Amino acid sequence: MNSQVDYSLYLVTDSTEAILGSRDLVDVVEQALQGGVTIVQYRDKTSDTGDLIATAKRLHKKCQKYNVPLLINDRVDVALAVGCEGVHVGQDDMKVDEARRLLGDDKIIGATVSSIEEAKVAVERGADYLGIGTLYATQTKKNTKEIIGINGIRKILSYLDEAGSKSKDTKTVCIGGVNASNVQRVIYQLHAPRSGSLKPKAIDGVAVVSAIVGARDPKQASSHLRQLVRSSPPFSRSNDPVFWLEKSEDEINSLVSTADKATAAVHSKSPLSHNMTNLVVQNFAANVALAIGASPIMANYGKEAPDLSRLGGALVVNMGTVTPEGLLNYKKAIAAYNASGGPIVLDPVGAGATSVRRDALSQLLGIGYFDLIKGNEREIMAVARASGFTLDDSSQQRGVDSGDSLFSLEQRAYLVSKIALRERNIVLMTGATDVISDGVRTYAINNGHAYLGKITGSGCTLGTTLSAYLAAWPQDKLHAAVAGILHYEIAAEYAAKRDDVRGPGTFVPAFIDELFTRGGLVSEGKETWGKDVK
């Protein structure tokens, strides 16, 4: 029976004044059933046993009407008295195998876990599904043990994936702070795309309490959640990933023609490039955006973001000067752009340099989806760590400028593609050779000029450039980003070659000119392109 259970929208009830209020729980659950919840857990930590059984019986009648399983939190005796479909046990409750002996093989038994060790034990004892939490801090359950975030859930999913068929078959839901504003992103981030014949283990559903029980209109809230759970988030890629390809001449030619089209699209659409950026580069970034044909706005106040996010442009979050207030502003803007589907470029400037920046980066990765993350080698290594990878090299970044490479090109390509696969986005590691990947397709680009390393803000304004390309050519964001890099770096080459350019100072105005005039001519620089990375 368990294999047929639909865990996708899992309602956990709450009878407290703060969430249920003075309403009748059975009425609220019936409305949630009408809205489309797929499974219900009756969770009541305080009522007397007689009342628990009476309410559970009423709930069971309603659930049966909608053909939805009813589970009881903690109380195996209540489940037995009611004859409902199963129980959910916490770490301090009856053990899964003991509950199994009392309930039999046909009943559903779920367990709360927040670590790999707890998951291992619950699977061994025969749990049908795991409730993994706490995802995000929640007012609903204040005594939760640990907030584990997206990465904590991913670690448990990867463990289950690799620990044998029994653990692989165990279903999973995540719990804690899930609501309409984050549910699509959470599900997206907990579904690694298929790679070859392997289909990595993904979350089977989300469990919510307050987003439904605490809603003014529980029916409307659940039907909205159900619709969100079953559809892709606004930022999801329109095209399915294709597998890693050896790039042929044809493919390179098609990339060139896409690059030209994307460049033309930037000019014709003149997309908004909304920069939340640092004090050092604001003016330069605005000039670069204008030169490539985009419309810049430098707006660091998060409250403006919902309006700006609806204008068809893209957001750059540049962490160059991170402050607590700035972080709150970023979060508001990220939520707004994720909601509208407008692309976001994350530029984690100096991310590895201080604990404040590392912490800010993991907070941002935990609360938002970034279509593209760009940085130098050290910044991308900090991104890898924040995304849950363990790296051998423990060296911390010293400044915001990039030093010599620690890795071979192949290693950099591997790292970038792994992060992109996990984050389901595009990752760009800049350097003498830039490496960019969406986890499946990976390119190395050798364009650019050493002067870019001698002026301030060349990395930041590349981020600005990429935002305009993602907004103008959303149908293939990876190729749009490659086009943006080529436009930017080929312009730098032309500028550096000019007779009037004698050093970094004269380079800057020449670079802006070349960005402006060479904008439509990406294919001209084709002969200088770098080789693809295998």
Interface residues with ligand 3NM (CB under 6 A) are 12, 112, 131, 133-134, 138, 140-141, 144, 175-178, 208-211
Q: Which of 57, 81, 90, 297 binds Mg ion (CB under 5 A)?
A: 90
CB of 72 to ligand 3NM, least distance (A): 13
Comparing CB distances to ligand 3NM, the nearer of 207 and 333 is 207
Comparing CB distances to Mg ion, the nearer of 112 and 263 is 112
Closest residue by Cα to residue 417 from 478, 470, 367: 478
Comparing CB distances to ligand 3NM, the nearer of 86 and 133 is 133
CB of 190 to Mg ion, least distance (A): 23
Interface with Mg ion, residue 93, by CB under 5 A: yes
CB of 140 to ligand 3NM, least distance (A): 3
CB of 225 to ligand 3NM, least distance (A): 11
**Binding residues for Mg ion, total number by CB under 5 A:** 3
Place of tokens 């009037």: 500
CB of 119 to ligand 3NM, least distance (A): 13
Distance, in Å, from the CA atom of 379 to the CA atom of 402, rounded to the nearest integer, reads 9
Interface with Mg ion, residue 234, by CB under 5 A: no
Q: Do strands 86-89 and 314-318 pair parallel, antiparallel, or not at all (unpaired)? A: unpaired
* Shortest-Cβ-distance residue relative to Mg ion: 90
Residue type, 532: D
CB of 74 to Mg ion, least distance (A): 4
The token pair at 8 is 């996708």
CB of 90 to ligand 3NM, least distance (A): 7
> Which is the catalytic residue, given 63, 84, 174, 460?
460
Cα dist from 167 to 172, 189, 503, whole Å: 10, 20, 61
Side-by-side strand order, sheet with 372-375: 295-298, 272-276, 314-318, 344-347, 372-375, 426-429, 434-437, 442-445
CB of 73 to Mg ion, least distance (A): 6
DSSP state of 433: S
CB of 91 to Mg ion, least distance (A): 8
Distance, in Å, from the CA atom of 99 to the CA atom of 120, rounded to the nearest integer, reads 17
Comparing CB distances to ligand 3NM, the nearer of 23 and 497 is 23
Residue 74 near which of ligand 3NM, Mg ion, none (CB within 5-8 Å, type-dependent)? Mg ion
In contact, 360 and 278? CB cutoff 8 Å: no
Q: Which stretch binds Mg ion (CB under 5 A): 82-90, 131-139, 219-227, 409-417?
A: 82-90
Comparing CB distances to ligand 3NM, the nearer of 110 and 525 is 110
Interface with Mg ion, residue 14, by CB under 5 A: no
The token pair at 6 is 């639909």
What is the SS3 assignment for 105-136? CCCEEEEEECCHHHHHHHHHCCCCEEEECCCC
Give residues with Cβ within 8 angstroms of 428, minimum separation 6.
372, 373, 374, 375, 416, 434, 435, 436, 466, 481, 485
- Quick note: the x/- pattern for Mg ion over 42-81, rule CB under 5 A, is --------------------------------x-------
Is 460 in the active site? Answer: yes
Question: How many C-beta atoms lie closer than 10 Å to residue 35's C-beta?
Answer: 22
Residue 451's DSSP bridge partners are none
For 25-55, the DSSP string reads HHHHHHHHHHHT-SEEEE--SSS-HHHHHHH
For 224, the enclosing helix (H) or strand (E) is: helix 218-229
Residue 133 near which of ligand 3NM, Mg ion, none (CB within 5-8 Å, type-dependent)? ligand 3NM
Comparing CB distances to ligand 3NM, the nearer of 210 and 263 is 210
Comparing CB distances to ligand 3NM, the nearer of 175 and 533 is 175
Q: 3-state SS of the chain: helix, strand, coil percent to 5?
A: 50, 15, 40
Comparing CB distances to ligand 3NM, the nearer of 16 and 528 is 16
Residue 433 near which of Mg ion, ligand 3NM, none (CB within 5-8 Å, type-dependent)? none
Distance, in Å, from the CA atom of 320 to the CA atom of 97, rounded to the nearest integer, reads 52
In contact, 487 and 465? CB cutoff 8 Å: yes
Residue 178 near which of ligand 3NM, Mg ion, none (CB within 5-8 Å, type-dependent)? ligand 3NM
* Shortest-Cβ-distance residue relative to ligand 3NM: 133
Residue type, 515: L
Comparing CB distances to Mg ion, the nearer of 90 and 530 is 90
What is the SS3 assignment for 139-199? CCCCCCCCCCHHHHHHHHHHHHHHCCHHHHHCEEEEECCCCCCCHHHHHHHCCCCCECCEC
Cite the active site residues: 460
Give me the residues that bind Mg ion (CB under 5 A), please. 74, 90, 93
